[in-house]
Structure 1
Amino acid sequence: MRLHRNLVFAVIDGLYEIFNEEGYADKVVQKLLKRDKRWGSRDRSFIAETVYEIVRWKRLYAEIAEVKEPYSRENLWRIFAVWATLRGISLPDWKQIVPTPTRRIKGRFDELNKIRKFRESIPDWLDELGEQELKKNWDKEINALNQQAPVILRTNTLKISRNKLRSVLEDEHIDTEFIKGYPNALQLTERANVFSTQAFKDGLFEVQDASSQLVADFLDVQPGQRVIDTCAGAGGKTLHLSAILQNKGQIIAMDIYANKLKELKRRARRAGAHNIEPRVIESTKDIKKLYAKADRVLIDAPCSGLGVLSRNPDAKWKLQPEFIHNIKQTQAEILERYSKMVKPGGKLVYATCSILPSENQDQVNTFLSKEIGQDFTFIKDKKILSHQSGYDGFYMALLERKTN
């Protein structure tokens, strides 16, 4: 592979922003890709994939390069040289690239590969927490979460069948395959920009990981019901619920962030989902008004996001132990408060994209032991680990409110 100066400079600029200026990798990459209109799809792929790779393996590469944060541009060039050397890419004779001791880099890599926190490139505290909570599964799980996530589409069954969508995408030169056990999912056989397709503009699909696609089905909704999605965000699961309801009944999509609900409105228009009513949560009154009013309630709770590290590798470096401690308190409060919206005989799903039992089954068990939890019966739960499924780590629990 021949390295092109303008592409590598874009990578260095992106890394500087992510590591030193708190930039989010997805937003930074999005901005970088618009820098030069002359870049083709191969150029853009190089930038996006190289940035994500170096973000993912930051600790390992920095250790080999013998540089410490905050990283100067010179440090970032050294890290880039490690990345290139380990991939067998010949380094050009540019003034930014200091002579690179190839043999020493490879020797150091072999040495550090024996220590999990370096091999999997994670902070010490996260390695300790993962081992404490997942025990013997941690090794395999963190390794799986360091792989590049596949691109999965969810068929919008309000507009098209999965078989028909597959052939429509084929006409646009996007090849996909079915995934066993995921009735609406298509997996790309090769990465491509699906957002530029006519099929996407026509609202025939959404990009949504396979594990996430299981949540709406888990809620057991029936057409005509009133469903509340309490932490709807931009509405990935809300739109799926709308499709299962066949646009019948009502979905109240709630969130504390108005801008996310605005995005949901836009997506709903494209998807042809007409039974969604977005509502911003401005005070506890907005919740209380809906006590005992819903047939189904989805609590897709805010969480550590550790189950989706494969698509958000920069989260490893932004997450802090205090955040996880605080988010658990938030989860407990949300579960207690929002569960009151379920009417007697109705059902509730508590879900997270975390792999930590303390955010998942432990939260559900604690809730069931409280006074409000006495009104609910535990039906079933599903724990999804990335190394077993090949997709995001996820958790979902189904509870039913007693009628007496």
Structure 2
Amino acid sequence: MRLHRNLVFAVIDGLNDIFENGQYADKVVEGLLKRDKRWGARDRAFIAETTYEMVRWKRLYSSIADVKQPFSREDLWRMFAVWAVLRGIRLPDWPQLKNTPTRRIKGKFEELSKIRKYKESIPDWLDQIGEQELGEVVWNKEISALNEQADVVLRTNTLKGSKQNLKKALKEIEIETDVVSGSKDALLLKERANVFKTELFKKGLFEVQDASSQLVAAFANPKPGNKVVDACAGAGGKTLHLAALMENQGQIIALDIYQNKLKELKRRARRAGAHNITTRWIENNKVIKKLHAKADIVLIDAPCSGLGVLKRNPDAKWKLTPEFIEKIKETQSKIIHDYSKMVKPGGNLIYATCSILPSENQSQIKKFLSTEPGKDFTFVDDRKILAHQTGFDGFYMAMLKKNN
């Protein structure tokens, strides 16, 4: 691989924004890719993939380069040199890369690769929590899997066509896909591509959604004619899937505390042709109280640490803190306590997170069932999805039935 100056400078600029200005990696990369219209697909892929790789391996690369935050631009260049040397890329004769100690880099890599927190490039506290909650054997496998690049997975919008027809239509525009075992509507891209620019996406024939995430709506098992509350709907990834499974029949009430997310959900629903969705902004408790004992299904896709989706959000491990995780667990408990009251007798409560920590998952369900509102519910089933077992995101989902 030959390094091009303008592309590498873009990566360095991006890393500075992420590490020193606290910006989110996905937004930074999105901005970088708009910098030069002359860049082709390979140029854009280099910028995106290299930036994400360096974010993912920040601790390992900075330790090998012997630099610490706050990073100067010189420090970032030293980290970039580590990335290049470890990938076997010949370094050009640029001033920023002069005197790179190639042999020392390789030796230091061998040394640090024997220590998990460096090898997997994670903070000390996260390494401790992971081992404590999952056990050493599972944590070793899981954190390694979460450091792999995320695949691009599509969810067929069955309101507008079948998976077979979508696969065929994608092939006609030279996008090859594979089916995903255990995920009814999912297609996996064989090679990365900007699917958002395709007419198929603009016409609403599919959404981009990880295979594990697609299992949540299916687990909820909504039927045409049901009244479903998606209580933490966000921008509506799972809401749209629920609408498709319900064949646009019945009612979905999408709730969220953020109006801007619900606005995005409405836009996506129009594109998807999902007509049975209404949105309600949770501006106060009255919104919840009006729905008490009204829903056949309440889906709580709860706010969480997001540790199951580190594949696609590698910067999260540098932004997360143990204090945040403790706080989010309190939020989860309150949400289950309050939102469970919307389930009618005989209805189902679905609790889901994109976390792999039992303290955010099984423990929350156990805790809820011991509370006063929880005594009205019976545990039905749960699923623990780990990245090292599936190759996709880590997720948890549980189903509770409200007693008649």
TM-score, normalization by structure 1: 0.99
Q: In the alignment, what sits opposite 2:4? A: 4
In structure 2, give the amino acid aligned to 1:334: I
State the one-letter code of the partner of 1:149.
Answer: A
Query: How far apart, CA to CA, are the structure 2 residues paired with 1:281 and 1:224?
Result: 24
Per the alignment, residue 165 of structure 2 pairs with: 164
CA contact (8 A) 1:238 1:253 kept: yes
Name the SS of the counterpart of 2:242 in structure 1: helix
Distance 1:259 1:96 in 2: 43
The corresponding residue for 1:384 is 385
Give the aligned residue type for 1:115: I
> Secondary structure of 2:212's match?
coil
Query: Is 2:46 the counterpart of 1:46?
Result: yes
How do 1:246-325 and structure 2 match up within 5 A? Answer: 246-325=247-326
1:77 aligns with 2:77: yes
Partner SS, residue 211 of structure 2:
coil
Matching residue's letter, 1:185: A
Checking the alignment, whether the CA contact within 8 Å between 1:292 and 1:343 is kept in structure 2 is yes
Correspondence for 2:124: 124
Matches within 5 A, 1:385-400: 385-400=386-401
8 Å contact kept, 1:78–1:98: no
Q: Secondary structure of the residue that 2:225 maps to in structure 1?
A: coil
Give the Cα separation in 1 of the matches to 2:113 and 2:121: 10
Amino acid across the alignment from 1:122:
I
1:96 offset after TM fit, Å?
A: 1.6
- Per-residue CA shift, 1:324-349, capped at 9, x if unaligned? 00000000000000000000000010
Match of 1:13 in 2: 13
Mapped partners of 1:279, 1:240: distance in 2:
18
Q: Is the 8 A contact 1:194 1:200 kept in 2?
A: yes
- The 5 Å alignment of 1:48-63 reads 48-63=48-63
CA distance in 1 between partners of 2:79 and 2:57 (Å): 10
5+ residue gaps, structure 1: none
SS at match of 2:187: strand
* 1:59 to partner: Cα distance: 0.2
Q: Distance in 1 between matches of 2:274 and 2:388?
A: 34
CA distance in 2 between partners of 1:194 and 1:174 (Å): 9
Contact 1:221–1:296 (Cα < 8 Å) also in 2: yes
Alpha-carbon separation, structure 2, partners of 1:180 and 1:210 = 9
Tell me by how many angstroms 1:181 deviates: 1.1
Report deviation, 1:217: 1.0
Post-superposition offset of 1:72 = 0.5
Cα offset, 1:133, TM superposition: 0.2
Per-residue CA deviations over 1:170-207 (Å, capped at 9, x if unaligned) read 11111001111111000000111110111101100000
CA offset at residue 98 of structure 1?
2.9
Question: Any idea what SS the aligned residue of 2:171 has?
Answer: helix
Structure 1 Cα separation of the partners of residues 329 and 70 of structure 2: 30
Structure 2 residue matching 1:96: 3-state secondary structure: helix
Paired with 1:229 and 1:328, the residues of 2 have a C-alpha distance of: 20
CA distance in 2, matches of 1:208, 1:174: 17
Letter in 1 for 2:90: S
Equivalent AA in structure 2 for residue 4 of structure 1:
H
Q: What is the aligned partner in structure 2 of residue 98 from structure 1? A: 98
Post-superposition shift, 1:94? Answer: 1.1
Q: Size of the alignment, in residue pairs?
A: 403
Q: What amino acid sits opposite 2:5 in the alignment?
A: R
Distance 2:261 2:157 in 1: 20
Structure 2, unpaired ranges of 5+: none
Q: Among the aligned pairs, what percent are the same residue?
A: 70
Q: CA–CA distance in 2 between the matches of 1:358 and 1:183?
A: 30
Letter in 1 for 2:107: G
Hey, what does 1:177 align to over in structure 2? 178
Give the Å deviation of 1:278. Answer: 0.9
| 1:7 CA displacement | 0.3
Cα deviation for residue 100 of structure 1 reads 0.7
The 2-side partners of 1:98 and 1:318 are apart by: 32
CA distance, structure 2, for counterparts of residue 84 and residue 385 of structure 1? 31
CA distance in 2, matches of 1:181, 1:86: 36
Aligned partners of 1:258 and 1:266: how far apart in 2? Answer: 13
1:33 aligns to what? 33
Q: Is the 8 A contact 1:291 1:341 kept in 2?
A: yes
**What is the alpha-carbon distance in structure 1 between the residues aligned to residue 400 and residue 85 of structure 2?**
52
Q: Distance in 1 between matches of 2:49 and 2:25?
A: 11
Paired amino acid for 1:132: Q
Aligned partners of 2:81 and 2:281: how far apart in 1?
48
Shift in Å, 1:251: 0.3
Code of the residue aligned with 2:145 in structure 1: it is A
Aligned equivalents of 1:300 and 1:263: distance in 2?
17
Structure 1 stretches of 4+ with a deviation exceeding 6 A read none
Q: Distance in 2 between matches of 1:99 and 1:284?
A: 62
1-side partners of 2:388 and 2:117: how far apart? Answer: 18
What is the identity, as a one-letter code, of the residue corresponding to 1:256? I
Conservation of the 8 A alpha-carbon contact between 1:349 and 1:397: yes
